[in-house]
Structure 1
Amino acid sequence: MSPRIPRSQPTAPGAADELYHEVADAPIISPHGHVDAALLADDAPFGDPTELFITRDHYVTRLLHAFGIPLDELGLDPVRPVDPRHPWRLLADNWHRFAGTASASWLTHELRTIFDIDDELSADNADRLYDRIDALLRRPELRPRALFDRFRIDVLATTDDPLDDLSAHARLAADPEFTGRVLPTFRPDAYTDPDAPGFGERIGRLLDATQSAGTFAGYLRALQERRAYFISHGAVSADHGVYEPFTTDLDPVAAERLFQAVLAGTADAAQARLFRGHMLFQMARMSVADGLVMTVHPGVRRNHHSGTFRAYGPDTGHDIPVRTEFTENLRPLLQEFGTAPGFHLVLFAVDETVYSREVAPLAGFYPSVYIGAPWWFLDAPDAIGRWRAAVTETAGFYRSSGFIDDTRAFLSIPARHDTARRADAVFLGRLVDEGRVRMDTARRIARDLVDAIPREVFKL
C-alpha cells in the first residue's frame, strides 16, 4: 500500500466548490477564438436555432454524421437548403447519443443559462423548444452585443486573414456604444504553406497589396507590413495552425530559390515542408521584433475525408489529430529565439502524450514557452484534468496560458470557460485536500488562472 501523503494543514471541506465559486462569475478573457468581429459590429439578431446550435458547430455535425446522417441534411450544403427544423429534429432524435460528450455539456449549459430551458432535448419536445428559442432570439437582450455584456467578456480575440481590412474591428473601436475589447489575430497559414489552396494567387495579392517585390525579401516585408497593420488595430498575437511544428533556418540564397519554386508550383513535397519550416522560423523572428505573441496549433490532419472537403469545404468535422513531436522540431527556433526578451511562444497540442514528455519540460526551461490550454478534442472536463496532472508537477500553473475557448460558437463561450473553471477547481481542490497546496494559495491560483495568467501570456 502506498504511503499516505502528509497534510501540511487540515483538509478543507468542499475545497473544490469553494475555489469554483471564487471564480465562477469572473469576467471572461478569450485571447484566441474564431468568432467573426462582424457579428458584434452588425449586432443583427441570430438566425434560427439550427444555425445557432448545429450548422456552424462542427463538434455537433461531425458526431451526427458519425451516426449516419448526411451533412446535407444538417444544412451544410449551400446549394440545397433544408427546413431548419429538420436538423433540429435530427439532433433531438439523437440527443441521448451525445451523453458524456463536451458538446452535450455545453449545449445543456447554453439552453439552461441563456434560454431558461431545463428540459432534456427529445423527439417529443423538439418543436416546442425550437419555437421557444426562435421566439427568444427576436428579443433585444439576445442580440450579440447584449450577450457580450451578459457573458461578462472582458477581451475577445478573433482570427483573421492577413489581407483582411479589419473594418469590423474599426467599426467596433469607433462605436461609443460598444465598450468591449475585441482584438484581431494575425493568421498567415494560407500565405506560408505552399499546399494551401490558392497559395500562389494569395501571394500575388499580398505582394500587390503591399507594393512589394516578388522576391523572398519582398515577401517577408509584405508579411511584416500586414503584421504592423494588425498591431495598429489592436492585435496582440499571431496564430499558426501547422501540421507539424517543424522549423529550420535557411540562408538567404537557399530561401530565395525555394520561394521561387513554391511560387511557381514546381516544389516537391520535401521542398514544401522545408519552406513551411523556414517560414515558422521567420514568424518567430518577426514576433521577437514586433512583440506579437506566437501561438502554434499543430498536429491535425485537416480535411481527412477528401470527398467531404470537396462537397462542403473546410471546418465541417473531418479534421483528425495526429502524433506530434516538439522537442527536435522546435529546437532550431528555440536555439535562436527561446531566450529572447519579450518573446512569448504558446504551444498547443491534441496529442496528449506530448504534455508531460515535451511541452511541460520545454516550458519549464525556456522563458519564452508557455503551455497552451487543452485544445479541440481535449477541451472537456476529464481531458482538462489529465492535462493539469501531466504538466503541473513539471511546470506549475504559471507556465500555462489560461483557458482558451478556440470557438466559432459565440453562445458556447461561457459554457466552455465554466467547464475549465470547474475542472481547475477540482484539480486545485484535490491538491488542497491532500495537503499539497494551502487554501489561500489555491484561491490566488484560481483567480490568476482566469485573469492574471492570460493577461501576462497574451500581453493584455
Structure 2
Amino acid sequence: MLADDQPFPDPAALLVTPDHYVLRLLHANGVGLEALGREDRSGTHAVPPGRAIWRTLAAHWEDFTATPVRHWFETELHDVFGLTEQPSAANADDQYDRMAALLAEPRMRPRALFDAFRIEVLATTDGPADDLAAHARLAADPTFTGRVLPTFRADAVFDPSGPDWRRVVASVGEAAGIDTGTHDGLLAALRARRRYFVERGATATDTGVLDAGSAPLSAAERARIHTAAVQGPDRVTAAEAVAYRHDMLYRWAEMSVEDGLVMQLHPGVLRNHHRPTLERFGPDTGHDLPTVGAFTEPLRPLLEAFGTEPGFHLVLFTVDETVFSREIGPLAGFYPAVYAGAPWWFIDTPAAIGRYRAAVTDSASFTKTSGFIDDTRAYCSIPARHDMARRADAAYLASLVVTHQISEEDAVVTARRIVSDIPRATFKL
C-alpha cells in the first residue's frame, strides 16, 4: 500500500471490508459477509459496490453503540474525513459521496496519511518466506521518510498437523536455500530467514499458537516427528503434533537469544471457529475466538532456560484478561525477559485498558509493559486507537494522583514514558 501509494478505491474498501472488528459485529446482527465486500468463494454472490456496503453499515449503526469499534469509527469519520453526523440511512449516500471525493485528493493517499497521522514506526506482519520486496522499494525511495519494519511470523511451521505445514516448510527452505526435509535443516533455514529479516530492519517476531506450552524435546524425538510429518500429516498423532509445537516455541526463544529479535507471543485464540465461514470466505473474517489463557506453568521450561538471558525480550499478549494479575504481571515482575503486552483484540477497550493497568502495575509497574501497540487492518483507525489508549492510560494515572499514590509530576513523566521510552525499549526501536 505504501510502496505503491495509490488512491484508496472507495470508502467502503478502506473503512469496512478490511476491518474484521466491523465485519464480525455486522455479521452478528444478521448481515452476510458477502454484503460487506468479502469475496464469496462459493461464487454465488458478486462483491457489491462500495455505496451499497456503506448503506448497510449506516443502517446498522446503532448495533455499534457503546463499543470501542464505534468510538474508533466516529474518530476516523471526524478527524480524517471531517464528518460531524453519525451515519444513518438518511445521510449514507451524502457521506459516501463526500468521502469518495476526498479520497481522490493527494492528501488522502497512503503516504500523505502516514505523515498526517504522525506515525513514527509501523511494523508489518510477514511470512517466513516473504522476499520483503515492498520494504526494499520503500527503503530505496528517497521521497518516503517513514519507518516501516517487517516482522517475522512463522506460525505455520509450528504445527506439523496443519494443512499448510509441508508447503510452508518447503517454501522456507527454498527461500533460504537449505533443505528442510530434516528438522535440523528447518531450524537452519529459519535462522537464515530471521537474519534476512534483521538485515532489512526487523526488530521482532510474532507468534500465535493455541497454547504457550514450551517443553523441549530431545534432538532424536523432534527429528523423528519431523521426518514423519514430511511424509504426510496423517503420519503424526495429535499428541506428537502438540509436542512438536511446544518444542518449536522453545527453539523460537533460543533463536531470539541468539539474534536479538523481540519475541511476541499471542496464545489462546481458537482460529476459524466457524468452518462453513472459513470455507466460504476464508480466514480473518471475524470468527477467531478467545480461549482460557495460561502462562506460568506452560512457559516454565522456556523461562528456566532463557528468562534471565541478557537482551532477551518476551512480550506476552492475551485475550483472557484474567491472567494479567494472576500470571503475566507476576511473571514480568520477576523475569527480566518478560514484558506484559498491551490489551489486544477483544480487550483493547477503554475499560479493559484500565483493568489491565490496575492488574499489572502492582506486580510489574510500568517499565515492564509493552506500551500500547495497535493490531489493525483498518489503516485510518491507527490514530484513533492510540488516542483512545492514551486517554485510558491518562485516566488511570489521574486515579493514582487523586488517591495520593503518585505525584502529579510522576504522572506526567510516566505518561510520556508509556508512549515513547517504554515501547522504544521493549521493541528495540
Give TM-score, length-normalised by structure 1: 0.91
**Deviation string, structure 1 residues 106-137 (Cα, Å, up to 9, x no partner):** 01000000111110111100000000001100
Q: Secondary structure at the match of 2:251?
A: helix
Give the alignment partner of residue 151 of structure 1, picking from 108, 117, 120: 117
One-letter code aligned to 2:96: Y
Give the alignment partner of residue 92 of structure 1, picking from 48, 52, 58: 58
Q: Distance in 1 between matches of 2:174 and 2:78?
A: 50
Specify the alignment match of 2:316 in structure 1.
347
* RMSD of equivalent CA atoms: 0.9
Q: Distance in 1 between matches of 2:210 and 2:174?
A: 28
Q: Secondary structure at the match of 1:115?
A: coil
Q: Which runs of 5+ in 1 are unaligned?
A: 1-38
Q: Secondary structure at the match of 1:55?
A: coil
Deviation at 1:377, TM superposition (A): 0.3
Q: Distance in 2 between matches of 1:209 and 1:146?
A: 34
Q: Which runs of 5+ in 2 are unaligned?
A: none
Specify the alignment match of 1:29 in structure 2.
none
Q: Distance in 2 between matches of 1:86 and 1:279?
A: 46
Q: Secondary structure at the match of 2:128?
A: coil
Deviation at 1:361, TM superposition (A): 0.2
Specify the alignment match of 1:16 in structure 2.
none
Q: Secondary structure at the match of 2:410?
A: helix
Give the alignment partner of residue 282 of structure 1, picking from 246, 251, 270: 251
**Deviation string, structure 1 residues 186-205 (Cα, Å, up to 9, x no partner):** 00101222243321122122
One-letter code aligned to 1:432: V
Q: Secondary structure at the match of 2:16?
A: helix
**Identical amino acids, percent of aligned pairs:** 55
CA contact (8 A) 2:370 2:426 kept: yes
Q: Secondary structure at the match of 1:238?
A: strand
> Does residue 1:169 correspond to 2:135, yes or no?
yes
Specify the alignment match of 2:166 in structure 1.
200
Residues matched between the structures, number: 422
Deviation at 1:141, TM superposition (A): 0.3
Deviation at 1:258, TM superposition (A): 1.2
> Does residue 1:238 correspond to 2:238, yes or no?
no
Deviation at 1:336, TM superposition (A): 0.3
Deviation at 1:210, TM superposition (A): 2.1
Q: Distance in 1 between matches of 2:428 and 2:407?
A: 29
Q: Distance in 2 between matches of 1:246 and 1:158?
A: 26
Specify the alignment match of 1:76 in structure 2.
38
Deviation at 1:315, TM superposition (A): 0.3
Deviation at 1:74, TM superposition (A): 1.1
Specify the alignment match of 1:17 in structure 2.
none
Q: Secondary structure at the match of 2:339?
A: strand
One-letter code aligned to 1:83: P
Specify the alignment match of 2:87 in structure 1.
121
Give the alignment partner of residue 220 of structure 1, picking from 187, 201, 207: 187
Deviation at 1:286, TM superposition (A): 0.2
CA contact (8 A) 2:217 2:244 kept: no
Q: Distance in 1 between matches of 2:123 and 2:49?
A: 33
Q: Distance in 2 between matches of 1:156 and 1:195?
A: 33
Q: Distance in 1 between matches of 2:176 and 2:136?
A: 20
One-letter code aligned to 1:178: F
Specify the alignment match of 1:448 in structure 2.
417
Deviation at 1:53, TM superposition (A): 1.2
Specify the alignment match of 2:13 in structure 1.
51
Specify the alignment match of 2:4 in structure 1.
42
Larger RCO: 1 or 2 (CA < 8 Å, sep 6+): 1
Q: Secondary structure at the match of 2:198?
A: helix
Specify the alignment match of 2:23 in structure 1.
61
**Deviation string, structure 1 residues 255-297 (Cα, Å, up to 9, x no partner):** 1001112222211111111111000100000000000000001
Give the alignment partner of residue 285 of structure 2, picking from 292, 306, 316: 316
Q: Distance in 2 between matches of 1:198 and 1:152?
A: 38
One-letter code aligned to 2:203: V
**Deviation string, structure 1 residues 73-111 (Cα, Å, up to 9, x no partner):** 111125522122122111101101101111100010000
Q: Distance in 2 between matches of 1:206 and 1:349?
A: 28
**Deviation string, structure 1 residues 321-376 (Cα, Å, up to 9, x no partner):** 00011011000000100000100000000001100000000000000000000000
Q: Distance in 2 between matches of 1:277 and 1:260?
A: 17
